[in-house]
């Protein structure tokens, strides 16, 4: 083989400094969930293929076209997870969590895998922060999760997005609506693939992004106009809670998510600066999913927020919700003895909560100071053999070039105070 290896198509390497944005997004989105009492769950990156076929839906593009499925050495059909909810539901059932306190409230983060056509904002490996609240059918839970997602985006500084909200009904009102929609679609001049999609799940046609199809379905019957009394009351309660909390939203009559398990409340966050791949996250209620996977009848609601998409949204709005500095203090040792003397000082700074690093190898003063500049540190801690003999170190403020001589015995305390002036 000649040439260098490259990341597989549809994937990318996450490197500093952009990786700092990745961590900031995960921290902001998950922080809201942790403060709301959601516990962390981690499930395998691959599961039995049948779990996703039943849980995600046979008619979805995910199951039909996009799953990474393989046969292991034991002859079992396994699939890299294309989304997070089905695996979490499996874990809830396997470990009997529904027999404890309800609702079960869990959050998670990690990569998902779909064989999609790569483009900006759409990758074959993408990372999400997800959350699920299971075991209670309460519209206030729907509102809570929507609010937590909205607060997470706002914690990043994002503002240029819309929250779109709808209801997809339930097992009582959706079948008669589906019949009306199927009859309407049968009268349209649809191409063969779209007609097949309409037979499998007519709602998917309403989600078609092609202008010619959108024009044809503009007058289609919509679920919001055919809700049963219970679903209408549920949707009204969700909207009332969001209004009371102060979360802005737009009711979208044609909103359809890409997974079959959604019922009742369904929502999507759409960023106005991302073009075709505008969705940065979404979710909804899935009251029949637990039963479909072999469990009891139990309500549930959840979301998946795209970390990659949120990063693009931050960049579109010019936001940097993280410190570009890799460390706060950078040690510059002018000799092997000085570098050895710096090592315990740097360790003590880290133990005190200060991000610190030092130069390694015989780079000379200029090379070491370039390393300090590249680190983004505010302070350079310069130490030479003469300084060691005098029992002092030179602390240079890289923001203004001033330099202060500090006793070695006091330098950790001095830098901790300097880095935390308000304490």
Between the alpha carbon of residue 115 and those of residues 81, 364, 368, the distances in Å are 11, 50, 45
- Give the start-to-end residue ranges of the domains of the chain: 18-173+227-316, 329-417
313-317 CB contacts, 8 Å cutoff, 24+ apart: 313/153, 313/158, 313/160, 313/161, 313/271, 313/273, 313/274, 313/280, 314/21, 314/25, 314/156, 314/157, 314/158, 315/21, 316/160, 316/271, 316/273, 316/274, 317/157, 317/158, 317/159, 317/160, 317/273
C-alpha 398/C-alpha 324 separation (Å) is: 15
Q: Is 394 helix (H, G, I), strand (E, B) or coil?
A: strand
Structure tokens at 88: 């979490």
When pLDDT is cut at 50, 70 and 90, the band that residue 362 belongs to is confident
Q: How confident is the model over 81-119, as pLDDT tens digits?
A: 999 999 999 999 999 999 999 999 999 999 999 998 888
pLDDT at 135 (0 to 100): 95
Same fold, 18-173+227-316 and 329-417: no
Q: Encode pLDDT of 168-179 as tens digits.
A: 999 899 899 989
- The stretch 358-372 carries a mean pLDDT of 87
Distance CA 42, CA 22 (A): 19
Looking at domain 18-173+227-316, does it have CATH number 3.30.930.10?
yes
Class of 329-417 per CATH?
alpha beta
Q: What is the pLDDT of residues 19-42, one digit of tens each?
A: 999 999 999 999 999 999 999 999
Spatial CA neighbour of 393 closest among 369, 365, 412, 421: 412
The gap between the terminal CA atoms of the chain, to the nearest Å, is 58
Mean pLDDT in the chain?
92
Q: What is the pTM of this model?
A: 0.89
* Dihedral (CA of 106, 108, 114, 120) sign: positive
User: In this predicted structure, what is the pLDDT of residue 205?
Assistant: 86
290, 300 Cβ separation under 8 angstroms: yes
- Exposure string over 82-121, b if 16+ CB within 10 A, otherwise e: bbbbbbbbbbbbeeebbeeeebbbbbbbbbbbbebeeeeb
Which residues are 166's β-sheet partners?
266
pLDDT of residue 258: 60
Angle of helix 229-245 versus helix 139-155 axis, rounded to 10: 40
Measure the CA–CA gap between 304 and 266, rounded to whole angstroms. Answer: 12
pLDDT at 405: 96
């Amino acid at each position: 083989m000649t040439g260098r290896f490259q990341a597989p198509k549809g994937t990318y390497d996450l490197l500093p400094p952009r990786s700092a944005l990745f961590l900031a997004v995960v921290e902001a989105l998950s922080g809201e969930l942790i403060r709301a009492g959601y516990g962390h769950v981690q499930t395998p990156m691959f599961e039995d293929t049948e779990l996703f076929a039943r849980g995600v839906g046979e008619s979805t593009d995910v199951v039909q076209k996009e799953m990474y499925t393989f046969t292991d050495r034991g002859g079992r059909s396994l699939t890299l997870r294309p989304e997070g909810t089905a695996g979490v539901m499996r874990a809830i059932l396997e470990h009997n969590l529904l027999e404890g306190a309800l609702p079960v409230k869990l959050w998670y983060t990690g990569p998902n895998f779909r064989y999609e056509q790569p483009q900006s904002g759409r990758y074959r490996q993408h990372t999400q922060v997800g959350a699920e609240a299971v075991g209670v059918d309460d519209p206030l839970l729907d509102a809570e999760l929507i609010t937590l997602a909205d607060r997470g985006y706002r914690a990043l500084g994002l503002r240029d997005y819309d929250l779109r909200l709808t209801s997809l009904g339930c097992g009582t009102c959706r079948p008669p609506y589906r019949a009306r929609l199927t009859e309407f679609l049968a009268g349209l001049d649809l191409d063969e693939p779209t007609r097949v999609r309409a037979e499998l799940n007519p709602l998917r046609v309403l989600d078609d992004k092609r202008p010619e199809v959108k024009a044809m379905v503009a007058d289609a019957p919509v679920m919001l106009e055919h809700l049963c009394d219970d679903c209408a009351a549920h949707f009204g309660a969700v909207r009332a809670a969001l209004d009371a909390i102060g979360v802005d939203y737009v009711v979208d009559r044609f909103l359809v998510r890409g997974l079959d398990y959604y019922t009742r409340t369904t929502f999507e966050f759409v960023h106005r600066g991302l073009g075709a791949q505008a969705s940065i996250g979404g979710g909804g209620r899935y009251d029949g999913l637990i039963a479909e996977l072999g469990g009891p009848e139990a309500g549930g609601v959840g979301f998946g927020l795209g970390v990659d998409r949120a990063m693009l949204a931050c960049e579109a709005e010019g936001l940097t919700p993280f410190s570009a500095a890799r460390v706060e203090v950078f040690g510059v040792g002018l000799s092997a003895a000085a570098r050895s003397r710096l090592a315990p000082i740097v360790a003590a700074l880290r133990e005190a909560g200060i991000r610190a690093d030092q130069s390694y190898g015989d780079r000379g003063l200029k090379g070491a100071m370039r390393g300090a500049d590249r680190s983004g540190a505010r302070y350079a801690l310069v130490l030479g053999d003469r300084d060691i003999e005098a029992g002092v170190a030179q602390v240079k403020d890289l923001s203004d070039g001033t330099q202060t001589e500090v006793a070695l015995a006091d330098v950790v305390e001095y830098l901790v105070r300097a880095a935390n002036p308000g304490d």
